[in-house]
Amino acid sequence: MSSLFRTVRRRRWAKGPILLFVIALAVFSVLFLNESPAHSSQALVSDSPQDVAAGQVLYEQHCQACHGYQGSGGVVTGAPALVNVGAAAADFYLTTGRMPLNAPNNEALRHHQTVFTGDEIRQLDSYIAALPTITGKGGASPGIPNVEGLCANQNQAPADLAKTDPGCVTLSEGQELYAINCAQCHQAAGSGGMLSGGNVIPGLHNSDLTQIAEAPMVGPKPMPVFSNLTNAQLSAIAQYVHYLHKPQDPGGFSISHFGPVAEGFIGIAVGFALLWFASRMIGNRG
Amino acid sequence: MTTTDDASRTGHDGHDDHVEERIPFGRNPRHFGIDPGDPWPDDVPMDQDDSRWRYQDNPRGAKWAERRVAACWTVTALASIAVCVVYQTGANNQLAGLCWGLAFGGLGVGMILWARDLLPGHDVIASRGNHAISHEGDRIAVAESFGRGTDAMARRPFLVTMLGGIGGILGLGALYGPISSLGPRPHTDLYHTKWGPGVRAVTEQGDPIKPTDIPVDGIMTVFPEGNIDDALSPTLLINVGTSDFDVQPQRVGWNLPTPGGNVVAFSKICTHAGCPASLYNVEKKQLICPCHQSTFDVLLDCKPVFGPAPRSLAQLALAVDQDGYIVSQSDYTREGGGPVGPGFWNRG
Amino acid sequence: MTTHKERQSQDKRYQITKGALDEVDERFSSSKWLVSALDKIFPDHWSFMVGEIAMDSLIILIVTGIYLALYYVPSSTEVVYAPTSGVVYHPLVGHSMSEAYQSVINLSFNVRFGLIMRQAHHWAALIFLAAVFFHMARIFFTGAFRKPREINWIIGLLLWQIVALEGFTGYSLPDDLLSGDGLRVIYSIIQTIPFIGTWLSYALWGGRFPGTDLVPRLFVVHEFLFPLVIVGLLTAHLMILWHQKHTDFPGPGKTETNIRGSRVWPQYAMKAGGLMMLVASVTFFMAGFIQINPVWLYGPFNTYNVSAGTQPDWYLGWQDGALRLWPHWEFRSFGHEIPNQFFPGLILPGILLTLMFAWPAIDRIIYKDHDRHNLLDRPRDKPFRTGVGAAAVVFFIDLTMACGTDLLANNLHIAFERLIEILQWGAFVGPIVAFFLAYRTCLALQRTGTHPIQRPIGGIIYRTAEGGYHTVGDVHAAHGDHAGDNGHAGVAHAGIDKASAAEHAPDPVAGD
């Protein structure tokens, strides 16, 4: 009997660290090594004439009524000119379902699914990117940011990053930039919030890396523009927000990271309520 | 069998046939009253047999009740061992919670079942007695005892008055110093930030900025160079574009025009409770404070348009130094709506 | 029933116990007190156990708190997070933070069972205050604060306030972004006190916010000063309760001069111990499975960052809500100013607390009742008091909701401006509506005499040969299984007419 216990116990002791190591490895790979999803594996924008032509067709069918001929802007509709907005803006508005418009007064209230397919969006992006050339107005417009990957070594301070390991970013850099530029509206864990006049601040948990990097460049109203951020900084923010999709929650169920109000509700509605029923069962109910 | 309050007070109602037996639960009146002056304790029930328990007449039920309790406590034992294993294998928070929850829960449920099924305890009745009120004689005695002292003191009314005054002065003397030394005097500290003539505005990373670094409809948090941690200094640069920004006469020349834009600077510290009011709604050109939803209209010099904030955010006068970087013309001034931050008593 | 063998072992155990107790008695003359302690009767209505839940949570808080204090570093010294061993939380690497925040991060990630202790501590605090609120509501609605128990009501209110402040100081200790903004709000409220405000805030913080003195000071307050006061006040609270004896609901056989319940030893003690274990069980289940206050996501505190959804813990939500709902007034003259947050931050809570402290006296005047009471009121029998209580509860809920306006507005898909306006009106209209609804409901219930959500109390009264009365089928008989039980004869009581009359007659004052 006692020997049986011993073997069982020893096996557990031996298995535990291995199991844990495997789990830790899996978690680590999911968190840090996985290729983060971008919304298309192929190039997001191209300068091939076919794509530009196809994009023009789509533009004339779906966009021209508001945004005007060759993106010159709508005089009556007030739709902005698109000549110099660049592919990043086109890509952001189309992939997030903000365009075509769902809620004209509140861009954050958008279609849940994109209206166009990935290919169509690429064609439209290409057309918008080519507009300065087509119309001969304006100069080069900002392209779709190329999100850099996470560095293998995450133990670097943000300041050392640029020197030691160019071409990749750390979560630490992303956290610092997110905290000062984004958290005040989108909440520390990216759960979203509220602006004045009923403008919704969307949560960031459904966005992909490219969209997050595009948003600060584009500044989809009512969000301000942060086009002073470099590509590396945008990448760091994007990677950190992507980390926030599934951050480390060692403590258990995260209650969507909504903070003290939600925690208080759970504390009363679950914790205290259970004990309330317990005391009803223990005590006299007369 | 009749029990009345009076009977329970005196403790004598003639159940002498039990005298020889040791009666459980300390309910035997004969142990009290040996000293004739000893009253029956008030809230102790007398002569009511509450020794019965739920399964007393049901041995089979009692057996099962015992097994139920034992099963609960077995859960506790297993969970307690398991929690040690959890610790050794990396202390996963969920497993630890599960084990500890089960351990305490098993013990608790077992105790409650034991109490319910196998321990005696029924409602019994006892007298509350007269705890809160003493006999009139005792009350008179207290008043007289007290009066002996106060009468003697009252013969020296001057000393009584002085004792009161001295108490107050001693309180002041004992507390003023220790409390004052907890922190410095504020003097005019709240009127000042670390901005001043020619102080460069820098980012969180410490980089100076040019007006063109802030795009139209862009915002940026800046600090007086070298003083990132000062609580009153954080300032928001906002490029309001070509919007119709309302420039007050005394604030002419405080903004920095850029190609297609106009950079203005406002204190980030809310005039309500001091949180950083930094949610910028580009569409409405409003700044919102996330703590209490005070809303400021940037185009109207950050006048509060909603919420509890009573005053506009203070505006900082900007300039550009010879290298093209943004500097402040001065500290926040009265003309700019300063001092910054929430109100205080001697703000005036 | 008992066999010879059992009797023998009983006697042996009795001899041993008595020997031990004699030793104690020869030193403390304690026997009589111990009898009254062991045989003391406690009514065990379920609602009386809510206070016990609070006490049990406090015990969990003390135990887990001592453990946390072994790891916490009460220091604002700036350090750079660069751990060289153990689990590293990568998103914070290289950030400058206070030592306090770093110690909390290390406790959460690098101390085995550190996180569950932290979470248990926080959940126990939330449950503690929930129990305090419900306990307080029970006392209020049933009139348990009346003479002779006014002092315990006041001690209880003091406990509530200090426990809430203790919670706030604990919430602030990690020095994360969320709690730092909470401290900023408190600083600006203290700053508004006429004459001494700025001086006091500089004294407490050791200078301009945030400074480096506050964290160690908060630590002393949270770990030493407030726990001492709480334990002291709680001891007084319980000693007074013990001395004055527990109140009870009116019922068959119960009078102002008797007390009905079960003895402390053994059943009641075992049940109370079981409830304490259940409190621990629920707390640790929650600590294991529901994450609370993930400070590593909020980031270290600095003066210029803020997160949307900045709120205090729920029990201070009503005060934060008041700050949000208060209109944008401030008063300025003669070179001085009474700032906006002075009114919702200090005056409003001050008025409300004064009303609550004074309520036993107010209640005495309203009902012209200077008697001592041991039997509780049923809420319906005092419609005015119940109405006031309902109004207070609605006011409290309205303000608490206001503290989550951004979250609520987001989830309800309305503008926060509208929501705040609704709640501003709600703070006036809600209590009035609640008062009249509660008042009318009480009057209606008085006519039916039944419990609003329970089967009617009723039964057949038998007169026994000895002349006593005996009720069959009342709720107490239905609860246990003591039909035919000797002890039940105690219920057969001359006071039964009085008791049932008290139960059904509307209150003469409240009824008008």
Calculate what percentage of chain B has a pLDDT beyond 70.
85
Under 8 Å between Cβ of B331 and B233: no
pLDDT of residue C413: 83
- The Cα–Cα gap between C511 and A248 comes to 59
Contact C14 B22 (CB under 8 A): yes
Tens digits of per-residue pLDDT, C239-279? 999 988 899 998 888 888 888 888 888 889 999 999 999 99
Strands (E), C187-329: 258-263
Q: A106, A248, A277: best mutation site toward chain C, by most C Cβ within 10 Å?
A: A248
Interface check for B33 against chain C (CB to CB < 8 A): the answer is no
Tokens 């993930």 correspond to: C294
Answer whether residue A105 shows pLDDT above 70: no
- The Cα–Cα gap between C330 and B308 comes to 10
Which chain B residues are Cβ-neighbours of A196 within 8 angstroms? 281, 284, 286, 288, 293, 295, 306
Which chain A residues are Cβ-neighbours of C115 within 8 angstroms? 250-251
B49, two tokens: 């047999």
Of the candidates B214, B238, B306, the beta carbon closest to that of A196 is on B306
Tokens 């108490």 correspond to: B167
pLDDT of residue B169: 95
**B347 min Cα distance to partner chain A (Å):** 28
Residue C4 CB-density burial (10 A; 0-12 exposed, 13-18 middle, 19+ buried): exposed
Of the candidates C35, C210, C308, the beta carbon closest to that of B231 is on C210
Average pLDDT over residues C488-497: 38
B2, two tokens: 């009749």
Answer whether residue B13 shows pLDDT above 80: no
What is the reported pTM? 0.87
- The Cα–Cα gap between A126 and A40 comes to 15
DSSP character string of C179-208: HHHHHHHHHHHHTTSTTTHHHHHHHHHTSS
pLDDT of residue B323: 93
- The Cα–Cα gap between A41 and A23 comes to 29
Amino acid type, B246? D
Under 8 Å between Cβ of A224 and A162: no
Which residues, in sequence order, are bridge partners of residue C258? B127
Interface check for A264 against chain B (CB to CB < 8 A): the answer is no
Average pLDDT over residues A7-29: 50
- The Cα–Cα gap between A165 and A243 comes to 20
- The Cα–Cα gap between A283 and B126 comes to 19
Of the candidates B105, B183, B311, the beta carbon closest to that of C205 is on B183
Amino acid type, A112? H
DSSP character string of B258-319: ETTEEEEEEESB-TTT--B--EEETTTTEEE-TTT--EEEGGGTTEEEESS--SPPPBPPEE
Q: Does residue A222 have a cis bond before it (omega within 30 degrees)?
A: yes
Handedness of CA A255, A256, A260, A265 (dihedral sign): negative
Count of alpha carbons within 13 angstroms of residue C74, beta-carbon side: 18
pLDDT of residue B141: 93
H or E element, residue B328: strand B326-328
Q: How many Cβ pairs within 8 Å bridge chains A and B? A: 88
pLDDT of residue C236: 97
Contact C90 A155 (CB under 8 A): yes
State ipTM. Answer: 0.87
Q: B116, B202, B279: best mutation site toward chain A, by most A Cβ within 10 Å?
A: B279
Tokens 């020349």 correspond to: B253
Q: Average per-residue pLDDT in chain A? A: 78
**B25 min Cα distance to partner chain A (Å):** 22
Closest of C252, C262, C272, C266 to residue C41, by C-alpha: C262
Of the candidates C181, C286, C339, the beta carbon closest to that of B291 is on C181
Average pLDDT over residues C330-354: 92
Contact B89 A13 (CB under 8 A): yes
Handedness of CA C90, C94, C97, C100 (dihedral sign): positive
Tens digits of per-residue pLDDT, A184-233? 999 999 988 888 888 888 889 888 898 999 999 888 888 999 878 888 89
Q: How confident is the model at residue B1 (pLDDT cuts 50, 70, 90)?
A: very low
Tens digits of per-residue pLDDT, C110-156? 999 999 999 999 999 999 999 999 999 999 999 999 989 999 999 99
- The Cα–Cα gap between C435 and C441 comes to 10
pLDDT of residue B210: 93
Taking CA–CA distances from A203, the nearest residue in chain C reads C410
| Cβ under 8 Å to B: A residues 70-129 | none
pLDDT of residue C184: 94
Lowest mean pLDDT, pick from B120-129, C250-259, C365-374: B120-129
Interface check for A231 against chain C (CB to CB < 8 A): the answer is no
Interface check for A157 against chain B (CB to CB < 8 A): the answer is no
Tens digits of per-residue pLDDT, C280-297? 999 999 999 999 999 999
Answer whether residue A165 shows pLDDT above 70: no
Under 8 Å between Cβ of B283 and A196: no
Under 8 Å between Cβ of B61 and B84: no
- The Cα–Cα gap between A187 and A203 comes to 8
Of the candidates A188, A192, A244, the beta carbon closest to that of C410 is on A192
Amino acid type, B188? T
Answer whether residue C343 shows pLDDT above 90: yes
Contact B278 A184 (CB under 8 A): yes
Contact A276 C50 (CB under 8 A): yes
| Cβ under 8 Å to C: B residues 250-269 | 268
Interface check for A139 against chain B (CB to CB < 8 A): the answer is no
H or E element, residue A15: helix A2-28
Of the candidates C49, C283, C291, the beta carbon closest to that of A254 is on C291
Amino acid type, B93? N
Amino acid type, A169? V
Q: How confident is the model at residue A130 (pLDDT cuts 50, 70, 90)?
A: confident
Interface check for C330 against chain B (CB to CB < 8 A): the answer is yes
Tens digits of per-residue pLDDT, C73-116? 999 999 999 888 888 999 999 899 999 999 999 999 999 999 99
C339, two tokens: 């700032």
Query: Please, what is the end-to-end C-alpha distance for chain A in angstroms?
Result: 51
Average pLDDT over residues C339-344: 93
Contact A195 B279 (CB under 8 A): yes
| Cβ under 8 Å to A: C residues 152-181 | 171, 177-178
- The Cα–Cα gap between B189 and C207 comes to 9
Contact A282 C274 (CB under 8 A): yes
